[in-house]
C-alpha cells in the first residue's frame, strides 16, 4: 500500500498511477485529519464488485461456502459441457 499527500501526488501523478495499475498497489492520498482518497486499479475494483455481488445474498454465500468446503475436503464434481 502506498501513501502520499495531495501535493506529492500532483508532482508525480503518472508514477503513482503506474504503480497502482501495474503493481496492483493501493494508493491512499491523505487530505487532512481522518480524510483521504483511495485509488485502486480497475481490475481490483471489478474484483471487489464481483465479490460483493457473490456475497450479496444468503443463497450465494451458502453456495460459495459449500464449494470452498468441497474443495478443502477433496470432494468435487466434474461435468462435461455439451456442444450445441
Secondary structure in 3-state letters for the chain = CEEEEHHHHHHCHHHHHHHHHHHCCCEEEECCCCCEEEECCHHHHHHHHHHHHHCCCHHHHHHHHHHHHHHHHCCCCCCCCCCC
Residue 22 is predicted with a pLDDT of: 93
Kindly tell me if the per-residue pLDDT of 83 is higher than 90.
no
- Confidence class for position 70, pLDDT limits 50, 70, 90: confident
What's the confidence (pLDDT) of residue 43? Answer: 94
**Is-above-0.75 flag for pTM?**
no
What is the tens place of the pLDDT at every residue in 5-43? 999 999 999 999 999 999 989 999 999 888 999 999 999
Amino acid at each position: 500500500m502506498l501513501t502520499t499527500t495531495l501535493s506529492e501526488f500532483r508532482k508525480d501523478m503518472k508514477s503513482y498511477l503506474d504503480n497502482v495499475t501495474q503493481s496492483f498497489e493501493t494508493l491512499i492520498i491523505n487530505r487532512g485529519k481522518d480524510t483521504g482518497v483511495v485509488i485502486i486499479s480497475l481490475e481490483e475494483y471489478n474484483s471487489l464488485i464481483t465479490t460483493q455481488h457473490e456475497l450479496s445474498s444468503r443463497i450465494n454465500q451458502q453456495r460459495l461456502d459449500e464449494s470452498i468446503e468441497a474443495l478443502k475436503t477433496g470432494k468435487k464434481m466434474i461435468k462435461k459441457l455439451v456442444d450445441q
